Amino acid sequence: MPSEPALASRFAALTRLLAEGQALWRPLPFQHRDVPWGERVPGLADALQALSDDEAWRLQDAPFEASPLADWLPVDALAEAVDLPHLAAADGALPEAWGEGIGARKWRQIQAFAGRVAPKREASLVEWCAGKGHLSRTLARRDGRLVIGLEWQPSLCESGQALAERQRQAVRLQRQDVMAEDAGDWLGPDRHALALHACGDLHARLLELAAERGATVTLAPCCYHRTAASDYRALSARGRALMAEHGLTLSREDLAMAVQETVTAPAGVRHHRRRANAWRLGFDRLQREVRGRDEYLPVPSCAYGRLPDDFAGFCRWAAERKDVTLPIDVDWASFEAAGWWRQAEVERLELVRHLYRRPLEVWLALDRAWRLVEAGREVRLGTFCDRELTPRNLLIETR
């Protein structure tokens, strides 16, 4: 198969690079007072802390471009391993009016993804985890054919079906748990399965069933860490063999690193995230002193928009949830300043993980693609849109 040698070479190279670097990218800097890899790579931590704010922020968004980390880390090899082809859309842009009722960014993603869907006339289209069926309606309108959307939540099926009927599009939203035994009944050699940002076990289930039943696949995977397994078991036999050969192990927490890129986040969201992280780190310093234990104490997430108004309020909120008794005379300003200082330090140390983030995501996509190769399919792996539109821009497609 034309795709097999290139995929195999990239798969092997990325496995080796990830395995060799796992002592560097696996530790979470915010959990450690002293970075665990400091002695392993002398000089790297100092070089990171010497970066200006502008340079540190630039490297967060573009970790491979003119990276000062190249003296310590395999920047060029990692960049080459994730340099995938762009799979250009087959058709021109769709009319903007078709995006009625769809968020602007989501509509642009649908346009880009739909451009890669060129079904055979005899194949029936099945959208996996369809939600309200935005993609299904778009393809039904473009191709003038029935599209079946599988969705577990009844409310989404009902609202999506109402939209399709109002727009007079041939879409049937079917309530279906795609993890159930009968989900495979919707797939076969005469079916073309579509999934735009199906998460974790949901898209893994699609790949397994498509491999077994011979369905054509166009998939943009997402949220690899949303899985029931605590330790990752590669989908492909080749992936499992490579992991064993190179000693690569992946936990559910490791998988989350692959989807932490936030280039699409608005400036306000980014600022909120930085403030929340600084307050967490300030509380971490406080709780270590109060408890007399120099160890990180995980604090639950606080939903966007629900962050307390000030640092003191956040610490009281966190202390209540972790059963920590705070003294009355806390110097809030001092601990908050310590949190912001620590935030700047952690952001720079995190640049090592940023460098391996896309390689891990591409490796996971390669494992999924190779599962289909092992089923005898011709597979292409590339990007379907620019990362500024969505960092989750990887596409797996079979012919």
Determine the structural domain holding residue 199 and report its residue range: 96-245+357-398
Q: Could you tell me which of 359, 59, 370 has the C-alpha nearest to residue 241?
A: 370
Q: Is residue 112 one of the residues assigned to a domain?
A: yes
Residue 237 neighbours by CB distance under 10 Å: 11
DSSP assignment of 296-342, as one string? Answer: --------TT-S-SSHHHHHHHHHHHTT-PPPTT--HHHHHHHHHHH
N residues, the chain: 399
Cα–Cα distance measured from residue 185 to residue 306, given in angstroms and rounded to the nearest whole number: 43
Cα–Cα distance measured from residue 47 to residue 44, given in angstroms and rounded to the nearest whole number: 5
The vertex-363 CA angle with 359 and 366, nearest 5°, equals 140
Q: Is residue 156 one of the residues assigned to a domain?
A: yes
Q: Is residue 389 one of the residues assigned to a domain?
A: yes
Q: Is residue 317 one of the residues assigned to a domain?
A: no
Structure tokens at 187: 């797939």
Residue 73 near residue 352 (C-beta atoms within 8 A): yes
Q: Is residue 294 one of the residues assigned to a domain?
A: no
Q: Is residue 187 one of the residues assigned to a domain?
A: yes
DSSP assignment of 208-268, as one string? Answer: HHHHHHT-EEEEEEE-TT-SS-SB---SSHHHHHHHHHHT---BHHHHHGGG---TTS-HH
Helices 104-114/134-143 angle, 10° precision: 50
Q: Is residue 117 one of the residues assigned to a domain?
A: yes
Q: For the chain, what is the domain count?
A: 1
pLDDT value at residue 300: 85
CATH of the domain at 161: 3.40.50.150
Q: Is residue 380 one of the residues assigned to a domain?
A: yes
Residue 336 near residue 275 (C-beta atoms within 8 A): no
pTM of the model: 0.93
* Tens-level pLDDT at each residue, the chain (399 residues): 446 788 999 999 999 999 999 999 999 998 888 888 988 999 999 999 999 999 999 999 899 999 999 999 999 999 999 999 999 877 668 899 999 889 999 999 999 999 999 878 878 999 999 999 999 999 999 999 999 999 999 999 999 999 999 999 999 999 999 999 999 999 999 999 999 999 999 999 999 999 999 999 999 999 999 999 999 999 999 999 999 999 999 999 999 999 987 665 667 777 888 899 999 999 999 999 999 999 999 988 876 567 898 999 999 999 999 999 999 999 999 999 999 999 999 999 999 999 999 999 999 999 999 999 999 999 999 999 999 999 999 999 998
